[in-house]
Structure 1
Amino acid sequence: MRFLPVFLDLQSGVVLLVGAGELVRAKLRLLASAGASVRWYATDGSHDVSGLDAAVDARIERATGDPLTSDLSGVIAILCAGAGDIGVAMSARAKAVGLPINVMDDLAHSTFIFPAIVDRGDVVVAVGTGGASPVVARRVRERIEAVLPARIGDLAAFIGSFRKSMHARIPEFPLRRRFWERVIDGPIGALVLAGRKDEAEKALNEIADPSAFAGASKDGKAEGRVTLVGAGPGDPDLLTIKALRALQDADIVFYDELVSPEILDRIRRDAARIPVGRRVGKPGIGQDAINKLLIDAAKAGQRAVRLKGGDPFIFGRGGEEIEELRAAGVAYSVVPGITAGLGAAAQFEAPLTYRHEALRITFLTAHKAKDAETVDWSVLTDRKMTIVVYMGMTAAPSVRAGLLAAGRLPQTPVGVFARVTRADAQAVVGTLENLPALVEKIDGGPAILIIGDVVAHSAPWRQSNLNQVISKLLDAAE
């Protein structure tokens, strides 16, 4: 992120505008709509504002003379639109005195840029692309416009009118935040968005105990809880809406090592983040310590999230954690996530079931060779069963040996799918007899092994066959 989005108080000074033509007129409309006072130097000598409404005209000071030598006292920002070479010179002058400047369509000479704006009164959304593509920014703005309630600004103003009084009644900040969340998400917020502000105000005034409304315990403190959230295999777009809401509501997040940075970016900015996971060969803090952290956070009144890669209940120890939470009397909930096996199947078009070919699925974990040795492979020899092995890279030789010894065919298709759904995802396919060699072609995990005839329907398998055909044709041509 090169440009930090900030909001400039246009009531605190004058905006100096330099330029001419329709580009300047567009900036005049924008600045006037934001309540700015504008000092305009028309580079073509014409201050004609015909076609602009009177409200815009009233906020314009028509300046004469040379903007390069003008008095900059009281100026809070400089804009150049259709100013030609004067824009470059104004940029040098602005930078010399530390004033922010925007030279339209000239990123090199600008110290700030204009985002695409969604204006809902007190709610303003700014969308930027760092100047790289204003068209992309506009497209994003259009999508936000489509989903943002028309009266969302009224809701912000409504809450603003009650903030000071509620601050006095609910001094504890976490509890106060939860109070407003319940207002926004509940019937009162719905009334404001429906244009029934008077009814909403009446309902808010009738709340006798704001702390209790916010969910405080008997001692007046916020009640804590723990939410186990499945982060999925890595792609942040695969997070559920419920998972995103939990991450935005959390006071503290305990996350696994395998949770991607892109997903961590979805956590509320002021929430505490505690890494508690481990990777192969690197010891973690231990499950007992994790359980204690979750319980302590909840009993301190915090909304804690236990953020896990994949799904909490598929090799995620979610069951163990909720048993401990239940025993400690801590409230909890579980938000499922897309498990890595499903992510691999979807990304690489490897259907885990297939009519007449694959009627059953088995999920198992083989973190180490000794894990694979404890598996009863004799129940996994059915050709119509797909086997999905988690954490199976290290144990690949034992997985192969166990299945072959039990009678699974050496020619059974297998796929090794690494870092699934991420930008650096990788797939290698082949047969069961060559499984360890396939794993060696992978540039690091985590990886999923899929074993069964369904792998022959996958995109990597089809591509592999195509490459073989092309190679044979080339050999024949020689």
Structure 2
Amino acid sequence: MRFLPVFLDLQSGVVLLVGAGDLVRAKLRLLTSAGARVRWFATDGNYDLGGLEDAEAARIEAATGDPLTADLSNVLAVLCAGAGDIGVAMSARAKAVGLPVNVMDDLAHSTFIFPAIVDRGDVVVAVGTGGASPVVARRVRERIEAVLPARIGDLASFIGGFRKSMHERIPEFSLRRRFWERVIDGPIGALVLAGRRTEAETALKDITDPSGFAGANAQGKAEGWVTLVGAGPGDPDLLTVKALRALQDADVVFYDELVSAEILDRIRRDASRIPVGRRVGKPGIGQDNINQLLIDAAKAGQRVVRLKGGDPFVFGRGGEEIEALRQAGIACSVVPGITAGLGAASQFEVPLTYRREATRITFLTAHKASDAEKVDWSVLTDDKMTIVVYMGMTAAPSVRAGLLAAGRSPQTPVGVFARVTRPDAQAAVGRLESLPDLIEQIDGGPAVLIIGDVVAHSAPWRQSNLDEQFYLDDVISNLLEAAE
């Protein structure tokens, strides 16, 4: 993030605007709609306001003279639009006295940029791309405009009118925040958004026990709970809406080692983040300790998220954590995530089932060779079964040996799919007999193995021309045998 989003108090000074033409008039409309007082130096001498309303026009001062020598004592920002070379000179002058300056479409001479704006009164959303692509920012703004309630600004002002009185009645910060969340998400907030503000005010005033409304226990503390959230395989865009809401509501997040930094960025800024995961070959704090951390945090009244890679109930020990929480009397819930096997299938176009070719799927884990040796491979030899192996890189030789010994064809297509859905995702495909060699082509995990005829339908398989290569190998082998 190169540009930090900030909001200027336009009542604290004058905005100095330099420029001409349609570009500068667009800035005039934006500034006056925000209530700014503007001192405008028209570089072409044309002070036509372009049809602004009288109330807006009254806030514009048509300045004369040279802007490069103008008084800057009460100026809070300098803007240049359609100003030509004067814009560059004004930038140097503004920087010399420490004033923020924007020269339109000139990042090199700007110390701030204009975002795309969603204006809902007291609620303003700013969308920026660091100046790289205003068109992308506008597209994001359009998406936000489509989903943001029209009266969300009214809701903000409604809450603002009661904040001070509720602060006195609910001194504990976490309980007070939970009170307002219940107001916003419940019937009172719905009344405001429906334009029935008077009814909403009556309903809020009728709350005689704000702490009880917020969910306080007998000791006056907020009752905590735990949400197990599936982070998916790495791409933050694959988080569910419910998962995002949980991350924004959390007071503390205990996360696995493999949860990506991009997903951690979705956590509320002032929430505590505590890593509790482990990597292969490195010690962790242990599942019992993790369970106790969750229980202790919830008993302290915190809203806890246990953020787990993939899906909490697919090789994620989510069942053990839920059981421990229930025994401790802690309220808990689960938000599913996209498991790595499904992430690999979608990214690399591997249809895990395929009519008449693959009618069953088995998911298993083989963290190390000893895990693979415990698997009953004899039940996995059906060529219409797709096998998805989690954490199978280290155990790949044992996986191959187990399947071959049980009778699975050495020519069975297989794929190794690493870091799926992330920017550095990687795939290697081949035949079961060459599985360990495929592992060597991968630059580190985590990875899933997919074994079965469906891999031959995948994008990496098509791109590798493996069918033609194996056909040529068979022809050459047959020719050599005939020559002997």
1:453, distance to aligned residue in structure 2 (A):
1.4
TM-score scaled by length of structure 2: 0.95
TM-score scaled by length of structure 1: 0.96
8 Å contact kept, 1:235–1:421: yes
Give the structure 2 partner of residue 475 of structure 1.
Answer: none
Please give the alpha-carbon distance, in whole angstroms, between the structure 2 residues aligned to 1:227 and 1:117.
34
Give the structure 2 partner of residue 379 of structure 1.
Answer: 379
Letter of the aligned partner of 2:150 in structure 1?
A
1:104, distance to aligned residue in structure 2 (A):
1.0
Give the structure 1 partner of residue 178 of structure 2.
Answer: 178
Please give the alpha-carbon distance, in whole angstroms, between the structure 2 residues aligned to 1:374 and 1:239.
34
CA offsets per residue over residues 103-127 of structure 1, 9 Å max, x none? 1111111100111111110011111
**1:219 match: secondary structure:** coil
Please give the alpha-carbon distance, in whole angstroms, between the structure 2 residues aligned to 1:201 and 1:85.
55
Letter of the aligned partner of 2:206 in structure 1?
E
1:47, distance to aligned residue in structure 2 (A):
2.2
Give the structure 1 partner of residue 327 of structure 2.
Answer: 327
Give the structure 1 partner of residue 211 of structure 2.
Answer: 211
Give the structure 1 partner of residue 86 of structure 2.
Answer: 86
Please give the alpha-carbon distance, in whole angstroms, between the structure 2 residues aligned to 1:370 and 1:26.
69
Give the structure 2 partner of residue 368 of structure 1.
Answer: 368
8 Å contact kept, 2:25–2:50: no
Give the structure 2 partner of residue 353 of structure 1.
Answer: 353
Query: RMSD between aligned alpha carbons?
Result: 1.5
Please give the alpha-carbon distance, in whole angstroms, between the structure 1 residues aligned to 2:273 and 2:350.
35
1:235, distance to aligned residue in structure 2 (A):
0.8
1:445, distance to aligned residue in structure 2 (A):
0.4
Give the structure 1 partner of residue 164 of structure 2.
Answer: 164
Give the structure 1 partner of residue 297 of structure 2.
Answer: 297
Please give the alpha-carbon distance, in whole angstroms, between the structure 2 residues aligned to 1:471 and 1:147.
54
Please give the alpha-carbon distance, in whole angstroms, between the structure 1 residues aligned to 2:329 and 2:426.
43
1:470, distance to aligned residue in structure 2 (A):
13
The alpha-carbon distance between structure 1 residues 466 and 374, as it changes in their structure 2 partners (threshold 3 A), is: closer
1:469, distance to aligned residue in structure 2 (A):
6.7
Give the structure 2 partner of residue 222 of structure 1.
Answer: 222
Equivalence map 1:276-287=2 (5 Å): 276-287=276-287
8 Å contact kept, 2:233–2:421: yes
Equivalence map 1:16-27=2 (5 Å): 16-27=16-27
CA offsets per residue over residues 362-413 of structure 1, 9 Å max, x none? 1111101111111111111111211110000000000111111111111111
8 Å contact kept, 2:366–2:389: yes
Please give the alpha-carbon distance, in whole angstroms, between the structure 1 residues aligned to 2:288 and 2:183.
37
Residue segments in structure 1 that go unaligned for 5+ positions in a row: 473-478
1:85, distance to aligned residue in structure 2 (A):
1.1
**1:68 match: secondary structure:** helix
1:466, distance to aligned residue in structure 2 (A):
6.8
The alpha-carbon distance between structure 1 residues 104 and 397, as it changes in their structure 2 partners (threshold 3 A), is: same
The alpha-carbon distance between structure 1 residues 376 and 31, as it changes in their structure 2 partners (threshold 3 A), is: same
Give the structure 2 partner of residue 261 of structure 1.
Answer: 261
CA offsets per residue over residues 67-124 of structure 1, 9 Å max, x none? 1111111111011111111111111110000000011111111100111111110011
Please give the alpha-carbon distance, in whole angstroms, between the structure 1 residues aligned to 2:238 and 2:186.
27
Equivalence map 1:125-140=2 (5 Å): 125-140=125-140
8 Å contact kept, 2:430–2:466: no
Equivalence map 1:62-461=2 (5 Å): 62-461=62-461
Give the structure 1 partner of residue 43 of structure 2.
Answer: 43
Letter of the aligned partner of 1:394 in structure 2?
T
1:213, distance to aligned residue in structure 2 (A):
1.0
1:149, distance to aligned residue in structure 2 (A):
0.9
Give the structure 1 partner of residue 481 of structure 2.
Answer: none
Please give the alpha-carbon distance, in whole angstroms, between the structure 2 residues aligned to 1:471 and 1:392.
29
CA offsets per residue over residues 198-251 of structure 1, 9 Å max, x none? 111111111111111111111111111111000011111111111111000000
Residue segments in structure 2 that go unaligned for 5+ positions in a row: 473-484
Give the structure 1 partner of residue 3 of structure 2.
Answer: 3
CA offsets per residue over residues 291-324 of structure 1, 9 Å max, x none? 1111110011000100000011111001111111
The alpha-carbon distance between structure 1 residues 471 and 28, as it changes in their structure 2 partners (threshold 3 A), is: farther
1:28, distance to aligned residue in structure 2 (A):
1.2
Letter of the aligned partner of 2:154 in structure 1?
D
1:428, distance to aligned residue in structure 2 (A):
0.9
1:360, distance to aligned residue in structure 2 (A):
1.6
Please give the alpha-carbon distance, in whole angstroms, between the structure 2 residues aligned to 1:277 and 1:121.
43
CA offsets per residue over residues 335-377 of structure 1, 9 Å max, x none? 1111101111111111112222222211111101111111111
Deviant stretches of 4+, over 4 Å: 466-472
